[in-house]
Amino acid sequence: MKQIWLIFLKDIQQEFKTRYAINAIMLFAIVTLSAVSFSIGAYTATTRVLAALFWIILFFSSMSGLSHIFIREEETQTADTLKLVARPSSIYLGKFFFNLILLILLEVILIPLFIAIMNFKVVSFQIFLLTMFIGNFGLAGGGTMVAAIISKASTKGALFTVLSFPILLPVLISGISATRKAAESVKLMDAQNELQALLAYGVIIIVASILLFDFVWNE
């Protein structure tokens, strides 16, 4: 437990000094959002399209930043140093919490911007925020694990999106569906299926990652 917290703190400290991941992820989100907004123009898209666009922006922005945390360890050759002092599961969880915070920060910026620029009318904030909150666990859990895998491979950048897309697709599909429902209905029960799926996905992917992380990390 203590190790998880220490690794998390260390990554925050490092990030605070370089601001690499946070810059990459925020700029990516803002650039794609404005690109989407320009190309749509004054046309008001349906909630279905908007929900999909929102998740596509969220997904690809997180793809630009989530892998950084492991790639940095490999590229600065600190991975071995860390390996000498830490248990694998605490490394995974420490990095997972860091990515979780990164995603929450991204959403804090992205959600108000998206609602304002794209004229996205959320009827039930309860469903919307709950979707975001639960979805984050799945995104960060799967993303962190795939980041660990690709940090050991030779071509890192392009591979991350290729590998994480099939793994994170359930989050994307249920997330889009739940977001659409947030814009259409007020009752929480309407999005029950999606939220359950997101929750189950988050739990399973994190448990599987903790079990499998050993094999990625230990040579």
Partner 1 sequence: MSKLWKIILYIGLSLIIIGAFVWAPLEPKILKEYTRIFYFHVPVAWICVLFFLIAAYYSFQFLRTKDLLYDAYAKISNELGILFAILATVTGSIWAKVTWGSFWNWDPRETSIFILLLIYGAYFSLRSAVEQEDRRARLAAVYSLLAFVTVPFFVFVVPRIYFSLHPDPVINTQGKIHLELRQRVVFFSSLIFHTVLYLWLFQMRKTQVKLQMILRLYKENKMLEE
Partner 2 sequence: MLNAKMELIAEKIVKRFVHFLVLKNISFKVSSGSAIAITGPNGSGKTTLVKILCNLMAPTRGQVVYQNNSQKINREDIFQYIGLVGPYLQLYQELSAQENIDFFARMRNLKNYSARVKQLMELFNLSGREHDAVKTYSSGMQQRLKYVCALIHEPEVLFVDEPRSNLDQAGIEAVYSILQEQKKDKILVISTNDQEDLTLADQIIRVGVA
Contact footprint for partner 1 (CB under 8 A): 142, 145-146, 149-150, 152-155, 159, 162-163, 165-167, 169-170, 173-174, 177, 193-194, 197, 200-201, 204-205, 208-209, 212, 215-216, 219
The amino acid present at 60, given as its one-letter code, is F
The rounded distance, in Å, linking the Cα atoms of 179 and 161 is: 22
User: What residue spans of the chain are helical by DSSP H?
Assistant: 2-18, 20-40, 47-65, 68-75, 79-85, 88-118, 125-151, 157-184, 192-217
The amino acid present at 210, given as its one-letter code, is I
In the region spanning residues 13 to 52, those forming contacts with partner 2, defined by CB under 8 A, are 13-14, 17-18
Q: Note whether 84 binds partner 2 by CB under 8 A.
A: yes
Q: Note whether 192 binds partner 2 by CB under 8 A.
A: no
Cα of first residue to Cα of last residue in the chain, in angstroms, is 23
Shortest separation between residue 99's beta carbon and partner 1, angstroms: 16
Choose the one of partner 2, partner 1, none that binds residue 81, judging by a C-beta under 5 to 8 angstroms depending on kind. partner 2
Q: Note whether 83 binds partner 2 by CB under 8 A.
A: yes
Q: Note whether 153 binds partner 2 by CB under 8 A.
A: no
Shortest separation between residue 108's beta carbon and partner 2, angstroms: 24
Query: Which residue has tokens 């998390």?
Result: 8
Read off the tokens for 150. Answer: 């690709």
Task: CB nearer to partner 2: give 83 or 156.
Answer: 83
Choose the one of partner 2, partner 1, none that binds residue 170, judging by a C-beta under 5 to 8 angstroms depending on kind. partner 1
User: Rounded to a whole number, what is the largest CA-CA distance in the chain?
Assistant: 56
